[in-house]
A = this chain, B = another copy of it.
Amino acid sequence: MSFMDQAVAARRAAQELATLDRATKDRALHAMADALAAAEAELIAANEADVARAREAGTEESIVDRLKLTPARVAAMVQGLRDLAALPDPVGDVVRGWRLPNGVSVRQVRVPLGVLGIIYEARPNVTADAAGIALKSGNAALLRGSSSALESNRVTVRALRKGLEAAGVTPDAVHLVEGGREVTTEMMTARGYIDVLIPRGGAGLINAVVNGSTVPVIETGTGNCHVFVDAGADQSKALDILLNAKTQRPSVCNAAETLLVHRDIADEFLPRAFEALRGAGVTVHGGDDVRRFSDEVVPATPDEFDGEYLSLDLAAKVVDSIDEAIDHIRAHTTGHSETIVTESRDSIARFTAEIDAAAVLVNASSRFVDGGEFGFGAEIGISTQKLHSRGPMGLPEMTSTKYIIEGSGQTRA
């Protein structure tokens, strides 16, 4: 099927999905889970072929690891679909409602977005996750996975579609979009066919989609997250939070990348911090302001304060004041998650008001900025844009609304 054939089929499917009741969708999710579980051996064999191809092509082991499916990972994909069935259905929720002075009633009701386009990188589990989230929120999904995961994605989508059919739901709810780069361009310009594009992956992918799309995009993910240890910080809290935000899972977007320390406590805090970080295998990068505390601090280039390491590396800097910390974060933030550690009410008030990011944290690890931790139960990504949805996106974020207006013949004067 060509991409445009898939897009037309998805658009038609979306009309059907929009009016499905929750029970039908939940039955379909369990049927998708059953079909995926039944395809486990086939999926693992297909994935072995993908992994072998990636290794032949000289792919880094860290990426091969993301690509790789084990029985445990397949079981997690299956369970993810079942967990979605247990979540509330956002479609049909009345967001608000009121009566006009003339008696006309107005209700704003959640409806699906329509057709979601998801463009993502190596991890084949995203295929099942995204398809399930789309279905539960009443949307059709056009899934554009990485070519490196093609065999795995084909088996997964075939199984999901089989499950949909078994539940009496149109299999055109889910499509795997195949083909060369020109197909990505077709997706990005498929206005009227795709209602929203969500890129999931590295900064390169996200920027390419943001800049090339005429379809509305929800930007996800890059996080140059700062931890500012204020003069008024409880230093043991600061150490715990810094270590957790940096090392609990360094490869993700809500991990800390830059440490800012107020000059008034730098002499005391930085030696402790550097020792603890060294113990956790973290390499600190910085300028003379921090290198004087440790020989092991690697000189940092200025652009290291702009990017994500996504590894056991951390940029560090001493600031003279909360003003300088705020200015630094404003200049370098990607708008994801920014943390202050302080006991000062004034500093908390200023930092939470003046820092503009999806999440601003006070005395807590930025690793909490996550759909699962928030209790959303499912997450399609973390939005770092301000339009539509900001922060972790669960099922309600995959909906739009419509106004249903009922009268008894009223006209406007």
Inter-subunit contact B405/A216 (CB<8 Å): no
Inter-subunit contact B387/A106 (CB<8 Å): no
Q: What's the Cα separation between A154 and B365 when bound, in Å?
A: 49
- Say whether, besides A217-B216, A386-B196, A387-B388, A411 and B359 are in contact (CB < 8 Å): no
Q: What's the Cα separation between A363 and B410 when bound, in Å?
A: 7
Given the complex, which residues of B lie within 8 Å of A401, measured CB to CB?
390-391
Inter-subunit contact B98/A387 (CB<8 Å): no
Of A61-69, A292-300, A349-357, which binds chain B?
Answer: A349-357
Inter-subunit contact A216/B214 (CB<8 Å): no
Inter-subunit contact A408/B330 (CB<8 Å): no
Instruction: Return the contact of A410 from the options B358, B365, B403 (Cβ within 8 A).
Output: B365
Instruction: Return the contact of A216 from the options B216, B236, B403 (Cβ within 8 A).
Output: B216
Shortest A326–chain B CB gap in Å is 9
- Say whether, besides A214-B211, A386-B195, A387-B387, A360 and B240 are in contact (CB < 8 Å): no
Given the complex, which residues of B lie within 8 Å of A223, measured CB to CB?
none
- Say whether, besides A386-B196, A390-B400, A240 and B409 are in contact (CB < 8 Å): yes
Inter-subunit contact B368/A405 (CB<8 Å): yes
Given the complex, which residues of B lie within 8 Å of A19, measured CB to CB?
353-354
- Say whether, besides A216-B385, A362-B405, A387-B196, A114 and B412 are in contact (CB < 8 Å): no
Inter-subunit contact B244/A359 (CB<8 Å): no
Inter-subunit contact A408/B216 (CB<8 Å): no
Inter-subunit contact A412/B248 (CB<8 Å): yes
Inter-subunit contact A18/B356 (CB<8 Å): yes
Chain B, residue nearest A213 (CB): B214
Q: What's the Cα separation between A100 and B405 when bound, in Å?
A: 37
Q: What's the Cα separation between A49 and B294 when bound, in Å?
A: 70
**Is A375 located at the chain interface by the 8 A CB criterion?**
yes
Inter-subunit contact A404/B367 (CB<8 Å): no
Chain B, residue nearest A99 (CB): B375
Inter-subunit contact B114/A410 (CB<8 Å): no
Interface residues of A (CB under 8 A from B): 15, 18-19, 98, 100, 104, 106, 108, 111, 113-114, 191, 195-196, 210-211, 214, 216-218, 234, 236-237, 240-241, 243-245, 248, 330, 348, 352-354, 356-365, 367-369, 373-375, 385-388, 390-391, 400-412
Question: Apart from A244-B411, A356-B402, A365-B411, what are 9 other A-B pairs with CB-CB below 8 Å?
Answer: A100-B368, A100-B374, A114-B386, A236-B409, A237-B408, A359-B402, A364-B406, A365-B412, A390-B403
